[in-house]
Amino acid sequence: LAKTTQPISMDSYEGQEVNITCSHNNIATNDYITWYQQFPSQGPRFIIQGYKTKVTNEVASLFIPADRKSSTLSLPRVSLSDTAVYYCLVGEGNLANTNAGKSTFGDGTTLTVKP
């Protein structure tokens, strides 16, 4: 199972772009990269998922280099409400595979947005 490494914490200011990088050197061919956001005492919330290159949705962008050994979550123009823990998750996307579901959440990155 691919182990992920993220910075423990990051600080930013309102209106700035924030980039959080996750390292996953042992990512497997079938693994997808998924990012979640968690507020205190709430369940994690899906932000974005990708396999390679770049994925963009209304909330964030995900950049994945060709070797897929890392990924970067980009949050444009953050606000105070983006203060949360962000988890990078790497795991098997095919539920038919017995490794599916063993994706392990790392320690996450605590993002603090200041006014």
Partner 1 sequence: DSGVTQTPKHLITATGQRVTLRCSPRSGDLSVYWYQQSLDQGLQFLIQYYNGEERAKGNILERFSAQQFPDLHSELNLSSLELGDSALYFCASSGQREVSTDTQYFGPGTRLTVL
> Residues in the site for partner 1, rule: CB under 8 A?
32, 34, 36, 41-46, 49, 87, 91-96, 98-108
Which CB atom, from 25 or from 57, has the smaller least distance to partner 1?
57
For 66, what's the count of Cα atoms within 13 Å in the CB-facing half-sphere? 0
Region of 108 (left: φ > 0; alpha: ψ -120 to 50; beta: rest) is left
* Cβ proximity to partner 1, 20 vs 108, nearer residue: 108
Structure tokens at 81: 């409400």
Q: How far is the CB of 66 from partner 1 (least distance, A)?
A: 20
65 burial via Cβ count (<10 Å: 0-12, 13-18, 19+): exposed
- Nearest approach in angstroms of CB 59 to partner 1 is 14
Cβ-based nearer residue to partner 1, 12 or 34: 34
